[in-house]
Structure 1
Amino acid sequence: MESQWVFNFLLVLQFLLLVALAVWAFRLSRKLKRFERSAQEVEQAQKKQVQVLASGSIGMGRRLVAIEKRLNMAVERQSELISKEGSSVSYNRAMELLEMGASVDDLVSKCGLIRAEAELISLLKKESRKAPSSSQSY
């Protein structure tokens, strides 16, 4: 009888251990599900942050491209202005040299003009000298 009692006691003890183990496993699975949900929420928040950053960087890239285009246009305009200023300086210098009696060849060599430009400036200068005398004859 005593062995029967020990057997029953061990059987009840095993049953209680099994119930305790089942409760522990159930609680552990609930914690795991909560952890999973929180990890998914964090993942979603991070995805949203990445999307915001990506769209921001795309917008910034577009603005950078627009600024780069404007800068290139400004550089081109500046180059054009510099070249125009340089050519007007050459023409002014050519006029001064013509007043001092320089030849077309002198204009080509000293002002960096092509021969046709130098000849045209020389002709214009000669015509401007003739114009005051012809207007006086009227």
Structure 2
Amino acid sequence: MESQWLFNLLLILQFVILIAVTLWAFRLSGRLKDLTKRHIETDLNQKKQVQVLASGSIGMGRRLVAIEKKLNIAVERQSEILAKEGNVSYNRAMELLGMGATIDDLVSKCGLIRAEAELISLLKKESSRNSDYH
């Protein structure tokens, strides 16, 4: 009798454990579904963000290429202008500096702006220093 009672108790205990494990498995299954759904949503959001960033980068790249072309054209035009008229003023300014002219002399006699005259003066001084070392 006692073994029958122990057997029934063990059987009931197994049944309770089985139900508990089953409930736990259902909970885990629900959590897994939620996590999978969140993962899919996050993945889609990240893909959308990457697409937005990629299209923005492509647009920015096109703008940069266009700006670079314009800049190159402007640099070429500036070089042409300087080649036509600027070299004479700069060469004359270098000659005057060699004869001891001041920055104000360069501005008045060569038609340079003060910043250009100062830059040429600095370049002449640096050139003189470099030639003194050699």
**TM value normalised by structure 2:** 0.62
Q: Which residue in 2 is equivalent to 1:25? A: 25
User: How many Å separate the matches in 1 of 2:7 and 2:83?
Assistant: 110
Structure 1: gaps (5+ residues): 90-138
Structure 2: gaps (5+ residues): 89-134
Q: Deviations over 1:46-77 (max 9, x none)?
A: 11111111111111111101000000000111
User: How many Å separate the matches in 1 of 2:24 and 2:45?
Assistant: 32
Q: Which residue in 1 is equivalent to 2:81? A: 81
4+ residue runs over 2 A deviation: none
User: How many Å separate the matches in 1 of 2:86 and 2:9?
Assistant: 112
Aligned-residue identity in percent: 68
Shift of 1:31: 0.3
Q: Which residue in 2 is equivalent to 1:111? A: none
User: How many Å separate the matches in 2 of 1:79 and 1:27?
Assistant: 76
Q: How many pairs does the alignment contain?
A: 89
Q: Which residue in 2 is equivalent to 1:112? A: none
User: How many Å separate the matches in 2 of 1:60 and 1:73?
Assistant: 20
**TM value normalised by structure 1:** 0.60
Q: Which residue in 2 is equivalent to 1:59? A: 59
Q: Which residue in 1 is equivalent to 2:125? A: none
Shift of 1:86: 5.3
